[in-house]
Amino acid sequence: MKKPLPSLPFHDVRHLQAHQFLVDEAYLLDAQQYEAWLETLTDDVRYVMPVRVTTARGAGSDASAGRGPGMAHFDEDKYSLSQRVARMGTEHAWAEDPPSRLRHFVTNVRTFECDDGAHLLVESAELLFRSRGDVNESALLSCGREDLLRWCGGPEKTLKLARRNIIADESVLRMQNLAVFL
């Protein structure tokens, strides 16, 4: 989806609502309240993190947008996300046993109105700090996110995540695994 310019002003109520959504989402993920987080997603959500491809400028691949030749670290829907959440509650979630200590820092939030009035396009930057067990090494993951938020519900409409495209700022991830949500 092409972003209309300019972004909404920071004092616009829609920008404030989108920013509040991202802050509340970061809290749920930090607190590992994954069942509650699933409730913030639309039933047709698409959650994608393409593999970052680095190429020369004239090679034809859009490395700056992270759109490589169809590979992704994950490309998920609500069903697969709910299966990952369900697995975290079992003894089979070895990648998250012991659970990671997480902190999602969300910044540089820009909001764009969409033509249909039912969606907002939101860009943000995220820095994830992750620490596991008693080891000294922690991990950082920096990324840009492009979200499509949808107004859902009756008269008291709430925003839900309909699409997230995550573009890592490095092509080789140094994190041991991606068993967490961005």
74-92 pLDDT per residue, tens: 999 999 999 999 988 777 7
Which tens digits make up the pLDDT trace of 140-180?
999 999 999 999 987 889 999 999 999 999 888 887 788 88
Highest mean pLDDT among 2-16, 17-31, 50-64: 17-31
Gap between the Cα atoms of 133 and 22, Å rounded: 27
- Residue 57 sits at φ, ψ, to 5 deg, of -55, -40
Q: What's the predicted TM-score (pTM) here?
A: 0.88
**Contact criterion met (CB below 8 Å) for 115 and 141:** no
Residue type for position 101: R
Domain parsing of the chain, residue ranges = 13-168
| CATH number of the 13-168 domain | 3.10.450.50
Sheet holding 158-168, edge to edge: 72-76, 41-50, 158-168, 139-152, 119-131, 101-113
Residues 6+ apart with CB under 8 A from 146: 121, 122, 123, 164, 165, 167
